[in-house]
C-alpha cells in the first residue's frame, strides 16, 4: 500500500515536472489516476469493511437485546420492590402486633407458672411445718414419757412396798 501511494506521488511529480501547460485540463489525468487507485482500494478493502461492520452490527444487536431483557427484568424487580415498600408499613405493624401478643402470652404464662410455683411452695411449706410440728409433738411426748418413767422409777426405788407390788403383778402375767 505504501508502494502504491509512493507510485502515485512520483507519477504526479513526473507529470508536473514534464513542463506541460497548467490549467484545469492538466488535472484530468491525475484525477483519473486517483479515481482508479481509489476504486482499486475500495474493491480490495470493501469485504473487510463489510465483515467488520456486520460483526459490529451483530454485537450491537446482541447488546441491545440483552439490554432490553435486562431493562424488562429491572422493571419487574422495581415493581416488586415498590409493592414490598408499599406493604412495608403494614408488615411492620403486623410484626409489632405479633411481638406484643407474644409478650402478653409470655407474661400470662409466666404469671400462671409463678402462681402455681408459689401455691406449690406454700403447700410444701405447710406440709413441712406440719411434719416439723408432728416431730416436735413426738419429741415432747417421748420426753414426757421418759420423765414419767424416770419419776415412776424414782418412786419405785424409794418405796419397797411398791417394788413388791410391781414384781408380783409382773410375775402374774407370765
Cβ neighbours for 62, distance < 8 A, ≥ 6 positions apart: none
On the question of pLDDT at 163 being above 80, the answer is: no
22: left (phi over 0), alpha (psi -120 to 50) or beta: beta
Q: What is the pLDDT of residue 99?
A: 93
Q: What is the pLDDT of residue 173?
A: 60
Instruction: Work out the mean pLDDT of the chain and round it to a whole number.
Output: 84
3-state helix, strand, coil in the chain (%, to 5): 95, 0, 5
On the question of pLDDT at 167 being above 80, the answer is: no
CA 97, CA 93: separation in Å to the nearest integer? 6
Give the count of alpha carbons within 13 A of 110, CB side only: 6
The pTM assigned to this predicted structure is: 0.36
CA 12, CA 14: separation in Å to the nearest integer? 5
pLDDT tens for each residue of 50-63:
888 888 998 999 99
Number of H helices and number of E strands within the chain?
Answer: 4, 0
pLDDT tens for each residue of 12-46:
655 555 555 567 777 888 899 999 999 998 888 88
Q: What is the pLDDT of residue 155?
A: 78
Amino acid at each position: 500500500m505504501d508502494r502504491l501511494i509512493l507510485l502515485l506521488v512520483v507519477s504526479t511529480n513526473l507529470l508536473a515536472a514534464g513542463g506541460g501547460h497548467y490549467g484545469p485540463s492538466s488535472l484530468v489525468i491525475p484525477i483519473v489516476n486517483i479515481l482508479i487507485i481509489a476504486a482499486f482500494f475500495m474493491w480490495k478493502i470493501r469485504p473487510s469493511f463489510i465483515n467488520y461492520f456486520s460483526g459490529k452490527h451483530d454485537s450491537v444487536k446482541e447488546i441491545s437485546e440483552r439490554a432490553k431483557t435486562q431493562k424488562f427484568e429491572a422493571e419487574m424487580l422495581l415493581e416488586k420492590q415498590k409493592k414490598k415498600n408499599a406493604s412495608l408499613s403494614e408488615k411492620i405493624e403486623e410484626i409489632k402486633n405479633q411481638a406484643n401478643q407474644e409478650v402478653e402470652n409470655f407474661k400470662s404464662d409466666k404469671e400462671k407458672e409463678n402462681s402455681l410455683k408459689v401455691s406449690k411452695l406454700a403447700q410444701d411449706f405447710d406440709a413441712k411445718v406440719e411434719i416439723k410440728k408432728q416431730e416436735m409433738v413426738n419429741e415432747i411426748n417421748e420426753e414426757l414419757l421418759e420423765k414419767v418413767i424416770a419419776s415412776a422409777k424414782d418412786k419405785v426405788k424409794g418405796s419397797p412396798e411398791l417394788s413388791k407390788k410391781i414384781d408380783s403383778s409382773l410375775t402374774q402375767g407370765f
